[in-house]
Chains A and B, each alone.
Chain A
Amino acid sequence: MKIQEIREIFHNGLWKQNTGIVQLLGMCPLLAVSSTVVNGVSLGLATALVMALSNASVAPIRNVIPNEVRIPVYVLIIAVLVTVVQLSMNAYVHRLYLVLGIFIPLIVTNCIVLARVESFASKNPPLAAALDGLAMGLGLTAVLAVLGGMRELLGKGTLFSGLDLALGDSAKGWVLHVIPDYHGFLLAVLPPGAFIGLGLLIAGKNWLNLRAARRASKPIAIMPVEGGCSPAAHHG
């Protein structure tokens, strides 16, 4: 595998085709768990792990799976992997598991996982597929981290609260009280805060894209706005 290909895969996953702010797939966990950095990153990493594993499992057998039943087989593989991750988290990071709760099994229904298996892993060799799953998952994690950070900072005035759930009691002191004596801003913590925050992030990305495009080509063309589920036109 060439370095160029690997860079392309990561560029796609982390930025160009970012699941969270470009493809807009997998919104359910994005909006629900992004109330703090720790929650967002934890679920993002769990999703990234599932995506890397499912892509890596499907790619080697992509020519064996009968075309007519490929979707049930993919769903089966994804469901098995999610359950494995769920059981492992329940066993080894039990308290974090209690916080993320229902959203871990819901990774199965996150359409981004099936979307990458169907659109990438079923057509590419295992290593590339695994990297694609990882990159896409990390892209989602990054969005969850930023969104979680925004909501936590505005809503509670802290950062990294709940880190002890993932890393044990020793991490309790790592919570940053950025704004002391903060009384909280409810809107940011509640679901509308997630929608507004996500909207701002998408706007930010589009603005960066437009600026890059404007610099690249002097005569300003009217740029189509990215969004929806289409792998939108890209520029820059």
Chain B
Amino acid sequence: MKRTLAKASLQTALNLLFFTVIGTTVLAFTYSQTRTTIAHSEEQERLALIAQILPPGIADNDLIHDTLQIRPDPLLGTTDDTTAYRARLNGEVTAVVLQAVAPDGYAGRIDLILAIRSNGQISGVRVVSHHETPGLGDYIELAKSPWIKGFDGKSRQDYTDADWKVKKDGGKFDFMAGATITPRAVVKAVHKALQYFAQNRATLLAPAGTPRG
């Protein structure tokens, strides 16, 4: 009796193991088949996004692979390592693409990507992901409204710290009635990212071949 029970259990276990092995094989095969395509599409997607915020002709390098690991920084609002991309012309850095987080959106964090030119001017900002209310706070998406383009060309030189607020708070940035929290968070995050850039200018703009900061 004891023996048959053990045998039955073993048989069931082997059966389960058999299915697990088959399942794993199928998954491994699919993964190996799709891996390069997925990596390629992700790279294309990222490149398309970066191309939106960099003016044409600013880079002659393969910027998707000219990266810099950025440590988490309160000025960027990041809690994990992020990747910065560098646009170069003849080896000289012309712009840096940074990832930043506005942690205080109406519905949690707003992920941003922004390109800052070597002279400290903003080349462009885009929202990568957010959970703001559709129809109210989502005008920070370019697909919904050109609001986000209001940052283009701005820098800390021509806008003082007090200007980096929405108009309702006495600053110089537009907002739409009914949704002030969202743009307030984005403006603050962009302003802080500019401060980060100013503080880490030397590392970010280091010429090619220097050790990674």
Cβ–Cβ contact A90 & B41, under 8 A: yes
Is B12 a contact of A77 with CB atoms below 8 Å? no
Cα(A132)–Cα(B12), bound, Å:
28
Question: Interface majority SS on B: helix, strand, loop or mixed?
Answer: helix
A91 touching B34, Cβ below 8 Å: yes
Contact assessment for A87 and B15 in the assembled complex, using a CB-CB cutoff below 8 Å: no
Give the docked Cα–Cα distance between A182 and B83 (Å).
40
**CB-CB contacts of A31-46 with B at 8 A, as 1s and 0s?**
0000100000000000
**Nearest Cβ in chain A — how far from B179, in angstroms?**
12
Cα distance, A45 to B61, chains bound together (Å): 41
Residue of A68, A73, A90 near B38 (CB, 8 A) is A90
Contact with B along A41-85 (1 / 0, CB 8 A): 000000000000000000000001110110011001101100110
| Complexed CA–CA distance, A184 and B20 (Å) | 49
Instruction: Report whether over half of chain A's contact residues are helix, strand or loop; otherwise say mixed.
Output: helix
Partner of B135, one of A87, A88, A98, A184: A184
Give, as a whole number of angstroms, the nearest-CB distance from A105 to chain B. Answer: 13
Once A72-B16, A73-B16, A91-B37 are accepted as A-B contacts, the answer to whether A98 and B30 lie under 8 Å apart by CB is: no
CB < 8 Å neighbour of B27 from A64, A65, A80, A189: A80
Q: Which residues in chain B, 1-60, are within 8 Å of chain A measured between CB atoms?
A: 11-12, 15-16, 19-20, 23, 26-27, 30-31, 34, 37-38, 41-42, 44-45
B-side interface residues, number (CB < 8 Å): 22
Tally A residues with Cβ within 8 Å of B: 27
Residues of B within 8 A of A (CB): 11-12, 15-16, 19-20, 23, 26-27, 30-31, 34, 37-38, 41-42, 44-45, 133-136
Show 27 residue pairs from A and B whose CB-CB distance is below 8 angstroms, ordered by the A residue: A65-B19, A66-B11, A66-B15, A68-B12, A69-B12, A69-B15, A69-B16, A72-B16, A73-B15, A73-B16, A73-B19, A79-B23, A80-B23, A80-B26, A80-B27, A83-B27, A83-B30, A87-B34, A87-B38, A88-B30, A90-B34, A90-B38, A91-B38, A91-B41, A92-B37, A94-B41, A186-B133
